[in-house]
Amino acid sequence: MPRQRHLPPARGDDSQLQLRLIVAYAFMVLMFLVLAGRFAWLQFFQYDHYSTLAQNNSISLVPVEPSRGRIVDRNGVVLARNYAAYTLEVTPSETADLDATVAELGQLVELTPRDMKRFKKFLSENRRFEPSALKMKLTDEEAARVAANGWRLPGVEVKARLFRDYPFGELTSHVLGYIGRIGPREKEQIQEDGLTANYRGATHIGKLGLEKTYENMLRGRPGFEEMETDAGGRAVRSLRQSAPQNGSDLHLALDIKLQDVADKLFGKRRGALVAIDPQTGGVLAFVSKPGFDPSLFVDGIDTVTWKNLNEDWEKPLVNRALRGLYPPGSTFKPFMGMAALDAGAIGPNEVRSAPGYFTLPGSSHRFRDSKPSGNGMANLSRAIAVSSDTVFYKLAWDMGIDRIHPRLAEFGLGSRTGIDLDGESAGILPSKEWKAKRFSKMKPEYQRWYPADVVSIGIGQGFNAYTPLQMANATAILASDGKVFKPHLVQEVVDPKTGKKTPVEPAPQKQLAFKPEYFDYIKGSMEAVVKPGGTAWRLGQGLSYRLAGKTGTAQVVQIKQGAKYNAAALAEQHRDHSWFIAFAPAEKPTIALAVIVENAGFGAAAAAPLARGVIDYYLTGKVPPEVAGQLQTFKPVPPAADASGPAAAGAAASAPTPQKKTDASPSA
Amino acid sequence: MHPHPLKRLWQAVTAPLDGPLVLLLAVINVLSLAVLYSASNETFGKIDNKLVYTALSFGILWFLAWSRPQSIMMFAPPIYVVGVLLLVGVELFGIIVNGSQRWLDFGFVRIQPSEIMKIALPMMLGWYFQHHEGQIRWWHYVVGAVIILIPGTLILKQPDLGTATLIMASGFFVLYFAGLSWKIILGGGAAFLASLPLVWHFMHDYQRRRVLTLLDPTQDPLGDGYHIIQSTIAIGSGGPWGKGWLSGTQTHLEFIPERTTDFIFAVWSEEFGLIGNLVLLVLYLAVLSRGLMITARAQTLFGRVMAGSITLTFFMYAFVNMGMVSGILPVVGVPLPFVSYGGTATVSLAVGMGMLMSIGNTERR
């Protein structure tokens, strides 16, 4: 056992403490001397060596861009890829006279005003010793011409760079989003996230859609090439290099053919469609109409085009499926029915009267049914099939908002679904708390919840507002008897090198606790919707599988904010939106969807046939006759043959460089 | 005769402060502003932020210097317990940044509980030994080791080897000044060296890479060795006299990674040269000397072990940072005291300096 050590209360002259202080001090001084020695070695004895390294930059590290991951659909059709092309770049600090150099280059290649404008913008963003792109996507001939004359133009380089391409343009615009030039704010964000090393040499970053959500995986890691440079700072040879780590590919659950059918079925109409596989949560189709051409954004959109797009009254830039908020109308009723059954507000076989209007006790205000004569007597199933408003007014009134809200929240209504796209709207599932908060800046009487507020909520009007995505998700939950997934466009992320597949959200988030017989009951009543006597009976004709659905009509209360006044469009914009939710085959659903067609009137008229066309195609492969001949052909491409695969990236990086001496990209 | 009211105010404000320390820290801070301005490409954004958190840190420093060490000591157990609970919280609910789990997100603020431990651990140990003053037996050191190992292992699990080492070292310094037997210190040191292979076994891949890179940065010049090679070039090319303020080519060409935070010393070295480095070493050594003087004169055991631990921990920061930037120590996330950009680290250093002054003050009262 160590000897006991009693330190007397500290009083200056304690020799133990003295010794320990001296040892500590000696240790610190010694270590600092080691540092001083190291500094002297580096800065005095090795000064010449390091000075040469730094001043001549005789060895410089040039980042080698990784190839961005591809995005392919469930059948292997490539939706986003890369291709190599030459860019003409100028480094201002190395030119003798920048304006003269640019003027001379203007003789060799055609420089449009747009090129010049963009070049000026790059100059202002980049530093003088960084190259700025003067012209992109040179033709081979142009590249050769610059190469031949380049020797008398210091600071001018032709580089092989990778460009992003979205072969299906508008069709995938709201899903894929786009990449664009890294702006000042993104630069800051990259620094904050400590990703500077990852973006050294990078010019583009995911700005929207999947390109943004999966940026970190798509991006990859740059490699570096150690270049020996001559006294003028020009690369003479490559000493060694570390290959970049290419970005991961995204394999989508989305079926581009189905997407195309849905898109064409919309035609010129505005609206959105989201189709989900209820058994996996994978998104099969995700349409928001109209779309836009994403390639406009990749190299910086010009202000006029942007202004036109942004101010277009059809709002092509708005992702309606993700962000558009619409009252669900009668498509709300199946969910309301589940809540009513679960709360015991109505029994499965209980028959109610379904008159032409509903009044509150002590009030003369009539809440009208869409059918003025009413629907006679109806149990809950028939009330859904014929879409009786009065039965649901009464149910809502009986239950009150406090018993409705928590049950409907289970279906994900009023909260973000968590889909792998940025900027999702949460929607509004009304509650007392929500109303108090929403109107908190107004007088107390606006904030209070009135019992009558609940009545119109029962039929999906009132404060209710959901995105098409939320409605599709809720339908999928219903279809799968309560399996809640985070909907996801991406099925798996695939590492290009190892081929390792990482599935996205493969397991359900939770299982809802409603009784199985209630699910069966509500699903049965949705089948009745498309049978004789149901509101969409026409739709059920000639079915080769069991379809279940629900029509809806959303009253348009106001023109969406920011829309420009347009006399021709105004009348149309006041028309109701047409909704349809559906799933099939009813016994074991593999597709659940929600469709909204803006300003198209009654649900059974526009949205329901569209949904039928999409489901027909998905389950039976039958192309709806109205779009026959308009569909594109999609060829699945094996990974190796695609221009952006790892092999091709190598080819792009080692593309013969027109001017060996000034080109910093690998040339051997 | 009464002195002028302004003069009395001045005396009230300066009374708790330790003149030499404040002066030294002021000089270091002013120099650090100059080098930060250069490192951030001659922009003022970070300068403004630094001024704000430096002012805040000084307020905290003053308050602690003004407090009595006995009052500070009372808070040791609760702070330690809260710190440990937060570390457990990190383990359970922490968010992952750059592959390790170090942060707790409270919605309005994100905190790194290991920062709290940097002060809480030595305080707790000081409190513990103070309570057993005059009757310290071997088992008290065993308990002390347990007090060190609880937060130590939690931080190691995050994983954050750098911080865990620093925090455990600060605890060890307390044991050292509390009279831990020389035999154990030397024996423990030998055992540690012997156990290095085992440590290697338990290291994470990224930690092993750092060690390997340190031994030979040229093995991986484009990957992990990049930081070290570039900062070494920056230091070496600074030469005896430096390239001059704002003239560091390595710095301005962005060859130096994290040049406002952990690698700011490379900027300093490149622009101020060997002479600048020696000045900085002398400044730090002066701070350390003053710290040990306060340790020598401390009235209580708590004061003595705290002052000693704070001083030696400050030394560790400076030494480890300059060592890693100049390529003789592995790259761990340790800031250069009062020079590196970063609010949290500065505040925790200021807390230490404030306590040091508080302990120094008991002498004069």
Domain match, A346 and A245 both: no
Structure tokens belonging to residue B88: 């457990």
- How far apart are alpha carbons A408 and A486 in whole angstroms? 17
Same domain, A145 and A274: no
Distance from CA of B151 to the nearest CA of A (A): 25
Specify if A339 maps to a domain.
yes
Query: Can you tell me the distance from the alpha carbon of A152 to that of B344, in angstroms, rounded to the nearest whole number?
Result: 53
Comparing alpha-carbon positions, the chain B residue that sits nearest to A36 is: B278
The residue segments making up the domain with residue A247 are 60-96+103-252+643-653
- B134 and A6 within 8 Å at the Cβ level: the answer is yes
Window 209-268 of A, Cβ < 8 Å to B: 223-226, 240-242
Q: Angle at which helices A389-399 and A401-409 pack, to 10 degrees?
A: 100
Q: Are residues A495 and A606 in the same domain?
A: yes
> B233 and A53: CB-CB below 8 Å?
yes
Residue A659: predicted pLDDT? 34
Name the most confidently modeled range: A335-349, B240-254, B256-270. A335-349
pLDDT at A98 (0 to 100) = 85
**Between residues B90 and A528, which one has the greater pLDDT?**
A528
Contact residues on chain B for A55, CB-CB shorter than 8 A:
237, 249
Same domain, A236 and A284: no
Q: Which two tokens stand for residue B214?
A: 């340190």
pLDDT given for residue B107 in this prediction = 56
Round to whole Å and give the CA distance between B100 and A325.
39
* A529, A331 contact by CB (below 8 A): no
Q: State yes or no: pLDDT of B203 exceeds 90.
A: no
User: By C-alpha distance, which of A213, A102, A120, A95 is closest to A504?
Assistant: A213
Contact at CB, A10 and B184, closer than 8 angstroms? no
Residues A211 and A289 in one domain: no
User: Of A385, A634, A370, A358, whose CA–CA distance to A529 is shortest?
Assistant: A385
- The whole-angstrom separation of Cα A236 and Cα A243 is 19
Where exactly are the structural domains of chain B? 19-66+203-365
| Nearest-angstrom CA–CA distance, A292 and A171 | 8
Q: Mutation test of the interface with chain A: which of B180, B219, B222, choosing the one with the most A Cβ atoms within 10 A?
A: B222
Beta bridge pairs of residue A165? A81
Q: What confidence tens digit (pLDDT) does each residue in A181-229 have?
A: 888 788 878 877 767 777 877 888 999 999 999 998 999 888 877 776 6
A545 touches chain B (CB under 8 A): no
Cβ contacts of B215 within 8 Å, gap of 6 or more: none
Residue of B40, B131, B235 to mutate for A, most A C-beta atoms under 10 A: B235
**Tokens of residue A327, six digits:** 């009252």
Domain CATH number, residue A272: 3.40.710.10
Overall domain count for chain A? 2
Alpha carbon distance A431, B292 (integer Å): 64
Residue A580 lies in a domain: yes
Do A284 and A229 fall within a single domain? no
Asked if residue A573 and residue A647 are part of one domain, the reply reads no
Distance separating alpha carbons of residues A540 and A35, to the nearest angstrom: 84
Query: Are A260 and A192 contained in the same domain?
Result: no
Q: Give the chain B residue nearest A12 (alpha carbons).
A: B297
Nearest CA in chain B to A31: B319
pLDDT at A373: 85
Would an 8 Å CB–CB cutoff place A84 in contact with chain B? no
- Calpha distance A437→B337 (Å, rounded): 47
Residue pair A322/A452 in contact by the 8 Å Cβ criterion: no
Residue-wise pLDDT for A621-637, tens only, equals 999 988 888 888 888 76
Q: Determine the pLDDT at residue A251.
A: 94
Q: Is A120 on the interface with B (CB under 8 A)?
A: no
List pLDDT tens digits, range A136-169: 888 888 888 888 887 778 888 888 788 888 999 8
Would you call B236 and A46 a contact, using CB atoms and an 8 Å cutoff? yes
The fraction of chain B above a pLDDT of 70, given in percent, is 88
A261 and A247 in a common domain = no
| Residues of chain B positioned with their CB less than 8 A from the CB of A129 | 253
- CATH code of the domain in which A134 resides: 3.90.1310.10
| CA-based nearest residue in chain B for residue A61 | B222
Answer whether residue A38 is part of any domain: no
Q: Is residue A33 part of a domain?
A: no
Task: Tell me, yes or no, whether A177 lies in a domain.
Answer: yes
Which tens digit of pLDDT belongs to each residue from A74-107?
999 999 988 888 888 888 877 778 888 888 888 8
| pLDDT tens digits along B5-59 | 888 898 888 889 999 999 999 999 999 999 999 888 777 888 888 999 999 999 9
A199 touches chain B (CB under 8 A): no
Q: Are B312 and A28 inside 8 Å of each other by CB?
A: yes
* Mean pLDDT across B132-160: 89
Do A201 and A244 reside in the same domain of the chain?
yes
- Looking at the complex, does the CB of residue A8 fall below 8 Å from at least one CB of chain B? yes
Within 8 A of B133 by CB-CB distance, chain A residues are: 7, 9
Q: Do A35 and B240 touch (CB under 8 A)?
A: no
Do residues A79 and A194 share a domain?
A: yes
d(CA B56, CA B49): 11
Q: Do both A480 and A612 map to the same domain?
A: yes
Cα B211 to Cα B339: distance, rounded to the nearest angstrom: 25
| Alpha-carbon torsion, ordered B229, B235, B236, B240, to 10 deg | 180
Query: Is A54–B249 a contact, with Cβ atoms under 8 angstroms apart?
Result: yes
Chain A residues closer than 8 Å to B359 by CB: none
What is residue B255's predicted lDDT score, i.e. its pLDDT? 64
Q: Which amino acid is at A254?
A: L
**C-alpha to C-alpha distance for B324 and B266, rounded to whole angstroms:** 10
Of all residues in chain A, the percent with pLDDT exceeding 90 is 39
Contact A2 B183 (CB under 8 A): yes
Structure tokens given for A210: 């999947």
A1 reaches B (C-beta below 8 A)? yes
Does residue A15 sit within a domain?
A: no
pLDDT class of A175 with cuts at 50, 70, 90:
very high
| Listed ranges A7-11, A27-31, A217-221, B261-265; the one with the highest mean pLDDT | A27-31
Tell me what the mean pLDDT of segment A43-62 comes to.
77
Domain membership flag for residue A347 = yes
A246: β partners: none
Residue with tokens 């350390």: B288
Set A67, A173, A330, A388: catalytic member: A330
Q: Is residue B60 within 8 Å of B346, Cβ to Cβ?
A: no
The per-residue pLDDT for range A429-444, each reduced to its tens digit, is 999 888 888 888 888 8
CB-CB neighbors (< 8 A) of B312 in chain A: 24, 28
Residue type, B325: V
Q: Print the SS3 string covering chain B.
A: CCCCHHHHHHHHHHCCCCHHHHHHHHHHHHHHHHHHHHHCCCCCHHHHHHHHHHHHHHHHHHHHHHCCHHHHHHCHHHHHHHHHHHHHHHHHHCEEECCEEEEEECCCCEECHHHHHHHHHHHHHHHHHHHCCCCCCHHHHHHHHHHHHHHHHHHHCCCCHHHHHHHHHHHHHHHHHCCCCHHHHHHHHHHHHHCHHHHHHHCCHHHHHHHHHHHCHHHCCCCCHHHHHHHHHHHHHHCCCCCCCCCCHHHHCCCCCCCCCCCHHHHHHHHHHHHHHHHHHHHHHHHHHHHHHHHHHCCCHHHHHHHHHHHHHHHHHHHHHHHHHCCCCCCCCCCCCCCCCCHHHHHHHHHHHHHHHHHHHHHHC
Q: Does the annotation count A578 as an active-site position?
A: no
Does residue A603 lie within any of the structural domains?
yes
Q: Tell me if B289 and A226 make a contact (CB, 8 A cut-off).
A: no
